[in-house]
Structure 1
Amino acid sequence: MVKLSILDLVRVRAGGDARQALDQARDLAHHAEAWGYERFWVAEHHNFPGIASAATSVVLAHIAAGSQRIRIGAGGIMLPNHAPLVIAEQFGTLAHLYPGRIELGLGRAPGTDQGTLRALRRRMGAVESFPQDIQELQHYFATPEPGQSVQAVPAAGTEVPLWILGSSQYGAALAGELGLPYAFASHFAPAELMPALETYRRRFKPSAQLDRPYAMVAVNIVTAPTTAEARRLHTTQQMSFTHLLRGDSQLSQPPIDDIDTYWTPAERYRAQEMLARSLVGTPAEVRDGIAALVSETDADELMVVSDVFDHSLRLRSYELTAEALATAAA
């Protein structure tokens, strides 16, 4: 049976605030480990009023404290925004606080706009050094060498597992060359999914961390008792993508009855391109969709994004999804 994990966007919802979003992420992780989810990731985003995960390592500490077993990680840290030493210190600290549970997914996209990049003091050319920065991180997480003058305290020796994230063949090739697990962002960039997986597997070289390719596919899933309800709940995410296309950052919005009254035909076309891999429906429909996706991609794991406005209904979506998969495997 394919493994299921969760990517939580830590959405700030209309009528709510950042503290509520952070506590709801923690609550979701607590429930998710009881439902059998493998890992729980959050992503680094900056200058988005509707996303509360900018201080990613701090958010992960809050989430990990509310759960016992589920693996906790970044999906991901946008490494060009940071000095590798600082990220090693942060995630090494988390590894000591929550032994055996912390992992680090790495991306090279900025996760924000150009003005915010300047405010982050991101150095010019940082993207080009992404492969070298990853290797520097690995060095900091390893046992220190004799005479090593710079150590990431307390990260040294923690061997925090690394993942490469991507939405193109660049990340796929890099993950393969470095022998690291690969997570593809088909929840917003599905067009390159199959070419990227082929590139990753073809370019894979065994490493100290991984002896064979391991591919995880991120996918939007909304599961509800009826198809109509699932489609209505999905309008929250459709509106969020519409706001993104408009360059209009807003808080997460409650679902609406008719999404076609909200977006223009051009926005609908572009949003549906990005959401093309979404699975929205009843447990049986989602179960069949998961089976088809796994058969097509041969994914080792799916990372589920269920961007539902109401927290209780979001919990229900994740629970029904896990139950649907368990039923299929029975």
Structure 2
Amino acid sequence: MMKHKSTKHLVNGATVIVCAGFEDRVLGALSQFEKLSVVLDRVILIRFGGNENRTNIDEIRKLSSRISNFGAPIEFSREEVEASDFSFLNHVGHEGKLLFDVTGSSRSLMIRLLSTLHDSDLSFDILYTEAAEYYPEKEQFEKQIGEVDVDTAEGLTTAYHRLSRYEQSRILHSSHCEIEEFDDLRGLIRPNYPLFLITFLTFKRGRLSAILSALEANAKLLIRGVPVRKDLKWRVDAIKVPNADLISDRELIDLETLNWEVTYDYLVSQYELDSNRFRYNFIVAPLGSKMQTVACWKFAKERPEVSLITSTPVEHYFDRYSNGSGETFYFPGF
């Protein structure tokens, strides 16, 4: 069952950890709290460097001053947070709930924060805000690829080549990404065991390309995210286009993007199927939605023999991310 619900009666007096990324939706949860007249205890703000993030940092400061007992947020840079071994958690209030808003966090920081909260024996709930629009937008994408049937090999190839003419080559084809590992999620790599890789399709195909290039997996499963919103269903077929040369005839596993439990249950089922856990070294590379990444983290955290890695582009293209802010979801019980 989907675990998201109205938050008003649950979060008064809570501490909220929020990461100030550059997307509009970073402000979604705090703005919703203000509309609901929620009074937080305090806001812990983790800042990212770069001019692109300054607007949201300033807005979070203003929101915090209006909706929290502490007024101004307790601030740390991302570098301070990671260098201090997450001692910033000393600033978490002892009363009320602890909420981690994953919306504005990078994937790597989110995974580290999840582990730190877990290892500190802190119970926490997760907040996540959808975007109003995701890149690429439907009208733009369909104009680029034209009228083709991407369910056929010929049509998919045609769409891929047409997209290649419109999209900058360094964005579409580059696999210039850093592979990131996590000290607590290195897993158990047994000598001479075959490798089982589970990873995700993404419109930022360089991330997937980097993972596939770095690992010689004997068995691979590619998960394709299925949005729950009707206006985003077109993306299920569209995501095949930038990844056409990576997926070939490989079967795609369709899992919804919002309910983390769907992805978690699937990972468990594949791990246990045919005694796979005893036959393979398992690596999971979360490249899908934020809540699918939460599922991958929980799956690996509960199984010390499973490795979790991710890939992060060396260069970001800020005009190729989401716009606007959508609904905010609340996921309790972590």
TM over 0.5: no
TM-score, normalising length from structure 1?
0.27
Higher strand share: 2
- Which of the pair has more CA radius of gyration? 2
TM-score, normalising length from structure 2?
0.27
Larger relative contact order (Cα-Cα within 8 Å, sequence gap ≥ 6):
2
Higher helix share: 1
